[in-house]
Structure 1
């Protein structure tokens, strides 16, 4: 291999004719773009799955109304970086792209996928460009590198999974950083000097781009190591070796000044941004559990070393032969290597031999200036993988295919280099055979990529694929069980939770979730307590057990458990709501209010917490303040129809009917549910808009045809809309299905009474009373209605008896007292009439009718007295 000529701003290859070369370059870029689109076109209609839900749908920082400053103070999942429970993954620029996606197209998954595929196309094309300019002299090898990268199946998680955008975008910025840094270095003016920095602007831009790469994903910072190494061994290679091995060693510092300045600048800058990064983390590393990375938790040093070394070869195998791919490699997927006689150690040794051979080859070829391809391949392979290697700090996974996106560039370069070397040795026939073999490999990789994309189309497809691929992995059974639980397929969920526990008995979350599915309270309690035995700080198990005990009346223990749930999960909004409701039930309103406020402080983005606090405020007479929290719930979650309905009810109670109606309709735009339709129908009914009420209640009945209450409400509207025959028929139909429907008999009585059929109306009320309602208020109202019917029938004595029974059950019935007084008045029992009138007046002192009746009574008594 001949040395490249050095251009003014970096490496360049000689050009014989620019026109055809530009055309061929355009063809190559177009072919790569088309290939990427073809391979990933079937991923475009996938859902937001797995981590996408937490990073996008459940991430408060991504929502349109959220503050941009939160993105730069919170982690990738929306938690504060300084929080002990934070994942410490600081990727604000990636979150900004998610936020931009939502601002432009909402949460429609298609546009998220389109962006990911476009980014993959850009990375592939840029990789070929860099390989042409800085790695290979033969552009065909650069094209082969990019082809292999475009179709490699290990990229499906990064490209088809939206969260993988962090890896793809960081890779793009990684390459741009490398490109601008290389262009900032000039040519060697003489054998006695190193290349100078010809473009300070490019150098500063490379620092900016590298920082952006780190702010997209942490592994992006490794590009600075690649740049310095490339500078030292390629850009400065010949003169640096010359001075290191020559007699002018004393002048080394002055001669190597340009390189040393660049290296010091990069090193100092990396130290500064790493210090800032550590400061943002609150000076602590993320906390992981044993199931996240079992090898790093092993107490045996030999096991740790052997397993972590084997994982390097396992990752290498995924690059070489991506046959078995899975979205999750945790909890039993890769058993620990616990002894030297484990056959898997052979893979570790083989990988070590290959890497040592490549490194030696790179070192020895420095003298012959043939190291560029191997050096770039190794640096692109090794440096981006270092953060995932457990070498410097513990990571939260065993194997993650998405982290291989950047290292795979180096793998592709090394494969292309090997292919080029073999072609030069084997001749034309061998080259043809190798070309056919490479074409077959590309086709196989393309087929595997298209097949693997199907896995990422939905939650069910993803989780089910995990079970088919790694049936011995407890985590995939747990994830699939969660999906089944959310889908209402509880028996299947129980089976997979049980399987997860059989494979990994210490899975506290599986134990807890299994408890939520059992119908037996004693069995559920047993599961919750087992989960807490495994992990005493499992805040959801504490929450579930606390709620269970609260429902059983064991309030003291429930309070303790719910407080612990908050202590170990300070951002778990449901625990605050549950504890506050416990206090509210005990009439400890001040404490309940304090818990709600503390919850809102720690979980300011919880729409449910704001809604629940609004309900509490309404119950305690703080309606105006409640309205603000309902509105905040809707701002946080624009689809929170429960808060909209609650706000509508609150406005309705204040007779703000137009605003209430608008909120009900807004809720109906989110979903057509009975819980929304019935209060809207009641609003129309109470404001005399009977036709609209009929339309709403008919829709509600269609959604829930078994609901007696909705049928009855519909019959009541028909009765008020002067469609008594339909109302009567519908009410009788309800009674035929539900003979103890007291309200149905009351409605029938009202219909008959309106027609003047007092006997039938009285009979309907008698049937209602025969049901012996347990509610004293309902019985009192029935006796009052019966008294009214008897009074209409001029059966005054019986009417008086009914009114008497009504006030015995409910003494505050002013109208019953007044009617009793009226009957005595008509019968000439003026003293008794006065007593009943006065009793009614005590209950309703502003009643004009009562005052008029008392005045009439006074006149009658005076007349009688005067006559006497």
Structure 2
């Protein structure tokens, strides 16, 4: 029955992709969702989603990727609105969409391709478990391909539904339902707004209409065209009679068989036992049809199709013009490492490489053995001569595609094997945008762009399997079925293993290095991950490996500089990166910060301004430049830089936080509150901004508000840096017991930090636990004998214990004598004053650390903007 078949497909699909539900945001997901201002939570839904690219950058920007997919972006927004940033539900939606695509493909094959429901089921099953789909389904960004494919199929079905099924006497059926035709245009447009390849559905519909729907007839109707051979001179045109009268008793989808007898001249007799695989009689019929434009009857019969074609072509022209207009009339700019062949100065190299890449993509569909998330930078060497053995694969592909095309033309009149036509259309048309045929694309090979074309591959594969099955003996047919079952099991196993690779950044990037060790890009990405994890030695190794494989990798040089402890060496890396890429805004930023640390202020300012010029959306460059100007007391310029940064990067929580710090130092605490709150709204987990807002309220004397914000920061990050200001608040407001608990926890989290242990010792001393305070202070002095604050506290503890001799011995130390001479002894004998003063110093120091959190860190170019 039909229902169990659908259930089986859903169950098998879910078994293959159920493991992906545990996955994280990986690879392009980070850019398209986590860092995308049009998607991430806390940002309001704006009209900019319809003017920005897939990654949140304005389409008119020269650095934009030009990938216009607003409906996919809105689907991410809906995910976040319903379930937040929980990756489980993102992956669940992808798996559900893949199930829907598989079911709709099975329905499409059953209704328009195969006569057997079983063949449609096998096609859907092969599509469901094919390993090449893993990137599209397990990678959240792949939703663009999956959702576009679903809309593609629905648009195709709607177009078919719009045609008249009872159009007797016409060569081409009329449009019976304008509603379904308009629905097809709408769904095709939606497919394009999900991913650009969706627009190819209109080409598939028109060609399928011309070669299949408009000439659909069974084998008997071909005989009815001229059942008695060639017409004798002087005889009248015979009226064809149906070979199967019982078929005429019910409505046929396209009952227009008789029309062909009046539209065309009689066909030559078809010779028997011809060794030529394509019927000459069928070719003659095709040629007569294609050259009958002078025949008025044929033009009249062609009119319904022409009306549809003119409508569809005009509509596609309009939406493509809109697509080009919204891009600012420019194509995206890619680098050599994205698509090396397109930058070759030799036409032959480009032609041979592009042709070979077609064969390579077909091989991935036939034998998905080697799969990788990134095929750039050296993964597939260029084909530079005609003697390259890989050209044999290109020639073989050309021969196979040519034979399949001839097969389709031969079946034009009889329309046998329309499965080949459907398979070719579904295979070829969706791949055209990725073929470099009309414009340069930003990748060498991308597995997820094969999601849509793989439908055609599955149709052709199953059709060939059915023909082979029909010609085999019973034993051979059984062996073939067993082999197919084993192939499906093998594909399923491979898909499950690929899902495990896509679970995390580490597993994905490590698999890339293992699969394509000669690919510089995968070494670069893995090095970025290792750097983020603090595994700097391993990161340096992979950065250097990437540079060996591709010495012109400017971003690898820049990132390597951020990990180098030797400033001279780091400067050399930054300068080399800028020689290769003078507009590399991250290298300009890092070199500017390095010069800033060397007090080469003017040079640093110039470089930071250049970084902003070439990366106007790089918020950290604004922060670094503004802080440098503020240090130089050029406050007006710093204010202008911050305001420009807020204007160009309104969604940067770090920039709002740093601007608020500047406003506090400038004496504008009320404005600072607004920007702290804006930073927290943009990034609720921004604990630095939360702590800073608490400190601001503390400085304004609003202790209850300060405590509230400190506790909120602890919910985000329960770290020593967050606990410390809360402990200081409790101590300075006389809540010593609570201060003691907080400082004990802080010291447990970070036992090596001297300031925290000293603060804990002070609280212990105030609460009368002088012995423990003395032991703790003495241990600190053993580790750091020149700790003046420790001597001050120790003398205060001895004074509280009335051990005046010990106080004298402490004060007799050379360091203390120097301090006494400078007047520090005024606070030594006052334990409360000493403790409070030290705590306030420690609080101020922590405040400075929090303020500079986003200013001190370097921001290497972690990965290039995704190209798919």
Please state which band the TM-score falls in when normalised by the shorter chain. 0.7 to 0.9
How big is the shift at 1:392? Answer: 0.5
> Which deviations, in whole Å up to 9, do the C-alpha atoms of 1:396-431 show, x marking residues without a partner?
000000000000000000011111111222243332
Aligned pair 1:28/2:10, yes or no? Answer: no
Give the corresponding residue for 1:514.
560
For residues 596 and 252 of structure 1, the distance between their equivalents in structure 2, rounded to whole angstroms, comes to 71
Give the corresponding residue for 2:827.
785
Give the corresponding residue for 2:193.
215
Correspondent of 1:716 among 762, 778, 791: 762
Q: Is the 8 A contact 1:769 1:782 kept in 2?
A: no
Q: Is the 8 A contact 1:765 1:782 kept in 2?
A: no
How big is the shift at 1:253? Answer: 4.2
How big is the shift at 1:285? Answer: 0.7
Structure with higher Rg: it is 1
How big is the shift at 1:139? Answer: 1.1
Aligned residue runs from structure 1 range 467-616, under 5 A:
467-616=513-662
How big is the shift at 1:531? Answer: 0.8
For residues 617 and 11 of structure 2, the distance between their equivalents in structure 1, rounded to whole angstroms, comes to 46
For residues 761 and 708 of structure 1, the distance between their equivalents in structure 2, rounded to whole angstroms, comes to 22
Give the corresponding residue for 1:311.
357
Distance 1:367 1:194, change over 3 A: closer
How big is the shift at 1:133? Answer: 0.6
Give the corresponding residue for 1:396.
442
Distance 1:693 1:251, change over 3 A: same
Give the corresponding residue for 1:53.
30
How big is the shift at 1:255? Answer: 3.1
Distance 1:131 1:689, change over 3 A: same
Aligned pair 1:362/2:408, yes or no? Answer: yes
Aligned residue runs from structure 1 range 371-520, under 5 A:
371-520=417-566
Q: Is the 8 A contact 1:607 1:637 kept in 2?
A: yes
Greater Cα shift, 246-255 or 339-348: 246-255
For residues 335 and 809 of structure 2, the distance between their equivalents in structure 1, rounded to whole angstroms, comes to 71
* SS of aligned partner of 1:336: coil
Q: Is the 8 A contact 1:511 1:531 kept in 2?
A: yes
Q: Is the 8 A contact 1:158 1:168 kept in 2?
A: yes
Q: Is the 8 A contact 1:88 1:281 kept in 2?
A: yes
How big is the shift at 1:391? Answer: 0.4
For residues 635 and 681 of structure 1, the distance between their equivalents in structure 2, rounded to whole angstroms, comes to 26
Q: Is the 8 A contact 2:793 2:828 kept in 1?
A: no
For residues 385 and 241 of structure 1, the distance between their equivalents in structure 2, rounded to whole angstroms, comes to 34
Q: Is the 8 A contact 1:327 1:462 kept in 2?
A: yes
For residues 491 and 384 of structure 1, the distance between their equivalents in structure 2, rounded to whole angstroms, comes to 44
Q: Is the 8 A contact 1:136 1:142 kept in 2?
A: yes
How big is the shift at 1:200? Answer: 1.9
Which has the larger share of helix? 1
Q: Is the 8 A contact 2:792 2:828 kept in 1?
A: no
Give the corresponding residue for 1:695.
741
Give the corresponding residue for 2:114.
136
Distance 1:779 1:709, change over 3 A: farther
How big is the shift at 1:191? Answer: 2.2
> Which deviations, in whole Å up to 9, do the C-alpha atoms of 1:161-212 show, x marking residues without a partner?
1111111111111111111111111214222353222222222222121111
Aligned residues: 762
Q: Is the 8 A contact 2:795 2:829 kept in 1?
A: no
For residues 779 and 264 of structure 1, the distance between their equivalents in structure 2, rounded to whole angstroms, comes to 97
How big is the shift at 1:230? Answer: 1.6
For residues 102 and 765 of structure 1, the distance between their equivalents in structure 2, rounded to whole angstroms, comes to 63
Q: Is the 8 A contact 1:762 1:786 kept in 2?
A: no
* SS of aligned partner of 2:155: helix
Give the corresponding residue for 1:823.
none
Correspondent of 2:790 among 737, 740, 744: 744
For residues 63 and 496 of structure 1, the distance between their equivalents in structure 2, rounded to whole angstroms, comes to 31
Give the corresponding residue for 1:108.
86
Aligned pair 1:118/2:96, yes or no? Answer: yes
Give the corresponding residue for 2:75.
97
For residues 765 and 263 of structure 2, the distance between their equivalents in structure 1, rounded to whole angstroms, comes to 103
* SS of aligned partner of 1:326: coil
Correspondent of 2:377 among 284, 309, 331: 331
Aligned residue runs from structure 1 range 657-668, under 5 A:
657-668=703-714
Bigger relative contact order (CA 8 A; separation at least 6)? 2
For residues 365 and 740 of structure 1, the distance between their equivalents in structure 2, rounded to whole angstroms, comes to 94
Aligned residue runs from structure 1 range 719-798, under 5 A:
719-754=765-800, 761=807, 764-767=810-813, 770=816, 772-773=818-819, 780-785=822-827
Q: Is the 8 A contact 1:373 1:414 kept in 2?
A: yes
How big is the shift at 1:722? Answer: 3.8
Distance 1:207 1:722, change over 3 A: same
> Which deviations, in whole Å up to 9, do the C-alpha atoms of 1:365-410 show, x marking residues without a partner?
0111214211110110001000000001100000000000000000
Aligned pair 1:180/2:180, yes or no? Answer: no
- C-alpha RMSD of the superposition: 1.9
Aligned pair 1:169/2:147, yes or no? Answer: yes
For residues 803 and 580 of structure 2, the distance between their equivalents in structure 1, rounded to whole angstroms, comes to 71
Aligned residue runs from structure 1 range 181-196, under 5 A:
181-192=159-170, 194-196=172-174
For residues 500 and 828 of structure 2, the distance between their equivalents in structure 1, rounded to whole angstroms, comes to 69
* SS of aligned partner of 1:55: helix
For residues 300 and 351 of structure 1, the distance between their equivalents in structure 2, rounded to whole angstroms, comes to 23
Q: Is the 8 A contact 2:564 2:570 kept in 1?
A: yes
Distance 1:244 1:63, change over 3 A: farther
How big is the shift at 1:767? Answer: 4.3
Give the corresponding residue for 1:127.
105
* SS of aligned partner of 1:62: coil
For residues 401 and 384 of structure 1, the distance between their equivalents in structure 2, rounded to whole angstroms, comes to 13
